[in-house]
Structure 1
Amino acid sequence: MIKNPTPRIIAFLTATILTCVVSVISLIFQSKWLEVSISSALTFAISYLLTLYALEFFIYRKIKLIYKSIHQLKTKKSDPLLPPLFGIIEDPISEVTKDVLKWAEDQTVEIEQLKKNEEFRKEFLGNVSHELKTPIFNIQGYIHTLLEGAMDDPDINIHFLTKAAKSTDRIAALVEDLESISQLESGYLTMEMETFDIHDLTKDIFDSLEFMAREKQIEFGFKAGADAPFIVEADKSRIRQVLVNLISNSIKYGNTGGRTLLGLYDMDENILIEVSDNGIGIEAEHIPRLFERFFRVDRSRSRSGGGTGLGLAIVKHIIEAHNQTINVRSSPGIGTTFGFTLKKA
């Protein structure tokens, strides 16, 4: 039994069988071998051509219509790639089968992706509304309290106005982060590449965050071999944003009296930058979701620290916009290390 026969083989086998039948019948009723040979040859030729024509007209054309529809859905073009049946040696039906199966597989993957995107959209909208709801309700409460008479008390009105201002700052920060991540994901925001010393940039950030670190008695420093110039090629303002976020997190979730250390390593074509702390650490089950938007290991603690829940998602997008990678390793009670690479200048 021939597996996956081509149209030519089908036509050949059909013609051969018919020729054999006609030849046997001719031999029975005719004795001249010349006449039998001629009739057999004509029978073979005619049946071969008729079989191929039948396959082309009744079957193959129907397959071409199906293929053309699928091809238009795949490529948005009107002319199919399937060649005529008579002009090829390979099995066109087999090729169509493969293409249809591939198309069906792609459609399944696309549908699954659309379902995931829909779930993600719903979760994202729920998270945004949840993040906005708290500060808006706070502002609403403070304003109504002031309008109901607290405005006349200087101590109370200043206290409530200060809290309302903090809530508006939180909303502004959330909107700004949402705008940043939207621009990064859409590719609208381009990277302004320049050459600079990542060591000097980190020292400047340490100085700017010194007051925040002093409140928790956290010390800044460089790991062995990192207290030296390391020249990279990147968007300086965006890398500053990355480092500020990572170092700020190391302070927020660091232990009182702890330390935040920066490591710089020459990796031939790239420079590896690591921000390490000896803080509370992160459970292993939370690490895969750490860079998701609005994901928080400890929601109450993160929100009280003023975070929008978008910081690490923005960090990941910035690093990926540089065609680089970022990773994290952490152990509860020991500390956390975020590492990312930048192109060496």
Structure 2
Amino acid sequence: MRELEGQVDVMENSGAFGIPRVPTRPITWSMTAKAKPHKSSEFKSVLLAIAGHDLRQPLQVIQLAHDFLGRGDRTTSELCQLQSGQEAIDRLKNQLDELVAALQLSEPAKRVKLTPVRVGPLLQRATYENEVAAQTKGISVRAAPTSATIESDALLLGTVLRNLISNAVKYTEPGGRILVGCRHIGANIRIDVYDTGIGITGDQIPRMFKAFTRLDPARHDGLGIGLFIVRQATGILGHRIDVASTPCRGSRFSIFASQAE
């Protein structure tokens, strides 16, 4: 953990890895999520958001890859394989729609039980799942290794990290960089997602966590619920969110969680 702390300290203080130095007066914002941990109605809203947003993203990638492979002349056998693939994609889409509908009608979800969660594997997985999108835009993304363990829920925290990195990719220009890591802050672990993106203005920060909010619709499409998922999930977990950003220079999204004993 000491090695990672050093890496992050150097990054913050000297701009290593291409992350700009934190300015004297960045725009900052902090929120201890108001949603009560374990509140079933909030948990169900997170599940619905995950099903409607996170699970559709890989399906879109699969569909694009399938459409690309279907271009040009194909043999009869290849066409049959492509047709089978399309049928499988359509089944997944229909099942996802049914899952969302079932969640809307389901009984209140069970409470989330916070348990010790290793941060390192979650950072690596969330980074890996956004790597293709980052490379397509010419963005470097990496996760610093860590042995930290926190009190959390792996499913919800993984969703939070995946969405924060995805958001960083969306708002970082080609040639930019994203770094994910964590460090000790008192009795807590602070998980950080740094980017060299376009930054956020002061008036945008409070409203960007609301559902269906897109800070720049002209630049990026989508439903605008990625950061809503982050807020809802962290609310259930009882974690705190901090944001520090400088327009045209970059942002840092941070999640504070209690260190596991």
TM-score, reference length from structure 1: 0.44
Matched, 1:275 2:190: no
Aligned partners of 1:339 and 1:320: how far apart in 2? 14
Deviation at 1:192, TM superposition (A): 4.2
Aligned partners of 2:187 and 2:195: how far apart in 1? 26
Deviation at 1:256, TM superposition (A): 0.3
Alignment match, 2:152:
234
Contact 1:276–1:337 (CA<8 Å) still a contact in 2?
A: yes
Alignment match, 1:302:
220
Aligned partners of 2:181 and 2:166: how far apart in 1? 16
AA aligned to 1:205 is A
Aligned partners of 1:193 and 1:342: how far apart in 2? 11
Contact 2:178–2:193 (CA<8 Å) still a contact in 1?
A: yes
Identity, % of aligned pairs? 30
Instruction: Go from structure 1 to structure 2 and tell me whether the alpha carbon gap of 1:319 and 1:171 turns closer, same or farther (over 3 Å shift).
Output: farther
Alignment match, 2:48:
none
Alignment match, 1:286:
204
Aligned partners of 2:211 and 2:100: how far apart in 1? 10
Question: 5 Å matches for 1:34-113?
Answer: none
1:343 to 244, 258, 261: 258
Contact 2:167–2:226 (CA<8 Å) still a contact in 1?
A: no
Deviation at 1:249, TM superposition (A): 0.9
Deviation at 1:274, TM superposition (A): 1.1
1:260 to 172, 178, 183: 178
Alignment match, 1:191:
112
Instruction: Go from structure 1 to structure 2 and tell me whether the alpha carbon gap of 1:255 and 1:233 turns closer, same or farther (over 3 Å shift).
Output: same
Alignment match, 2:140:
219
Query: Which secondary structure state, in structure 2, belongs to the residue aligned with residue 341 of structure 1?
Result: strand
* Greater relative CO (CA pairs within 8 A, separation 6+): 2
Contact 1:289–1:295 (CA<8 Å) still a contact in 2?
A: yes
Matched, 1:315 2:236: no
Matched, 1:251 2:251: no
Query: Which secondary structure state, in structure 2, belongs to the residue aligned with residue 287 of structure 1?
Result: coil
Deviation at 1:293, TM superposition (A): 1.1
Instruction: Go from structure 1 to structure 2 and tell me whether the alpha carbon gap of 1:287 and 1:201 turns closer, same or farther (over 3 Å shift).
Output: same
Instruction: Go from structure 1 to structure 2 and tell me whether the alpha carbon gap of 1:236 and 1:343 turns closer, same or farther (over 3 Å shift).
Output: same
Deviation at 1:335, TM superposition (A): 0.9
Contact 1:271–1:343 (CA<8 Å) still a contact in 2?
A: yes
AA aligned to 1:248 is S
Query: Which secondary structure state, in structure 2, belongs to the residue aligned with residue 200 of structure 1?
Result: helix
Instruction: Go from structure 1 to structure 2 and tell me whether the alpha carbon gap of 1:342 and 1:215 turns closer, same or farther (over 3 Å shift).
Output: same
AA aligned to 2:258 is K
Deviation at 1:227, TM superposition (A): 2.7
Deviation at 1:209, TM superposition (A): 2.1
Query: Which secondary structure state, in structure 2, belongs to the residue aligned with residue 320 of structure 1?
Result: helix
Structure number with the higher strand fraction is: 2
Structure number with the higher helix fraction is: 1
AA aligned to 1:195 is P
Instruction: Go from structure 1 to structure 2 and tell me whether the alpha carbon gap of 1:194 and 1:247 turns closer, same or farther (over 3 Å shift).
Output: same
Contact 1:177–1:311 (CA<8 Å) still a contact in 2?
A: no
TM-score, reference length from structure 2: 0.57
Query: Which secondary structure state, in structure 2, belongs to the residue aligned with residue 214 of structure 1?
Result: helix
1:330 to 234, 240, 245: 245
Contact 1:205–1:244 (CA<8 Å) still a contact in 2?
A: yes
Contact 1:178–1:310 (CA<8 Å) still a contact in 2?
A: no
Contact 1:170–1:308 (CA<8 Å) still a contact in 2?
A: no
AA aligned to 1:237 is L
AA aligned to 1:260 is I
Aligned partners of 1:208 and 1:188: how far apart in 2? 27
Aligned length: 179
Query: Which secondary structure state, in structure 1, belongs to the residue aligned with residue 239 of structure 2?
Result: coil
AA aligned to 1:197 is R
AA aligned to 1:292 is K
Aligned partners of 2:166 and 2:96: how far apart in 1? 15
Contact 1:200–1:229 (CA<8 Å) still a contact in 2?
A: no
Aligned partners of 1:297 and 1:313: how far apart in 2? 13
Contact 1:262–1:276 (CA<8 Å) still a contact in 2?
A: yes
Gaps of 5+ in 2: 1-72, 74-78, 80-88
Aligned partners of 1:273 and 1:231: how far apart in 2? 11
Aligned partners of 1:255 and 1:212: how far apart in 2? 12
Aligned partners of 1:192 and 1:233: how far apart in 2? 9
Aligned partners of 1:170 and 1:302: how far apart in 2? 23
